[in-house]
Amino acid sequence: MPTRLILLDIDDVLSADRSIAACREFDEASLPGYRVPIVGDSVALGLINRACRICAAKVVVSSTWLAIAGPDYTLNWLTKNGLDAGNLLASGPCVTYHPSRCDKLEAINQWRVQNPAMPPDHIVIIDDNPDLFPIGHPLAERQVIVDGEDGLLLRHYREVIAKLGRTDRDAGVFGPLTFGPVDE
């Protein structure tokens, strides 16, 4: 088991309103009744990849996509959209949803029962639902809440790495991020 984990949502995190509005192609054939964007937010996925590398973390998918589309479709979509799945997915890469209901908290709690060696302070949950965890839940303070309109942004990435004990300096960023030529 990796030393740190990111429980990752997809809708409103990697496939936010902003990225859907910019998307031109949707997969409406694979999942009748659902309009899945072919392209996810490449910047958000890049930030997830970077956070995992900096923090020695792995990803466990906690998205309700698992209940709707199944793990194979979900993991394939993530890989096609830039998640370094070969290196960054945990050995058990998905929480399990019961077929009759789609309750994320229950799926995450069940995952924790199946993975008791992973302490809560080594887990970060990236999700758009501010009411996902009740007050007092061991993971309530470990959640990074993302806005569904814009998805995962730089400030969320920084919060993720901070919760996992890292900083921008650890990422090789010294001072403010800049764009343009670099002095040699």
Q: In this model, does residue 1 exceed pLDDT 60?
A: no
Query: Which residue spans within 22-173 are E strands per DSSP?
Result: 26-27, 36-37, 57-61, 89-94, 123-127, 143-145
The model's confidence at residue 143, banded by pLDDT at 50, 70 and 90, is: very high
**pLDDT, tens digit, for every residue of 81-90?**
999 999 999 9
Query: Of how many residues is the chain composed?
Result: 184
State the Cα angle at 62 between 169 and 125, rounded to 5°: 35
Q: Of residues 68 and 104, which shows the higher confidence score?
A: 104
Q: What integer pLDDT is reported at residue 182 of this predicted model?
A: 52
Q: Name the percent of the chain lying above pLDDT 90.
A: 64
pTM for this prediction: 0.89
What's the CA gap between 78 and 60, in Å, rounded?
12
- In angstroms, what CA-CA distances link 129 with 11, 43, 133, 136, 177? 10, 21, 9, 16, 29
3-state secondary structure 47-62: HHHHHHHHHCEEEEEC
Task: Give the number of C-alpha atoms closer than 13 A to the C-alpha of residue 46, restricted to the C-beta side.
Answer: 5
Q: In this model, does residue 172 exceed pLDDT 80?
A: no
Q: In the numeric block, which tokens belong to residue 162?
A: 């901070």
Q: What integer pLDDT is reported at residue 118 of this predicted model?
A: 92
**pLDDT, tens digit, for every residue of 89-139?**
998 899 988 766 668 999 999 999 999 999 999 999 999 999 999 999 999
Q: In this model, does residue 184 exceed pLDDT 90?
A: no
Average pLDDT rounded to a whole number, residues 39-47: 92
Task: Give the number of C-alpha atoms closer than 13 A to the C-alpha of residue 76, restricted to the C-beta side.
Answer: 9
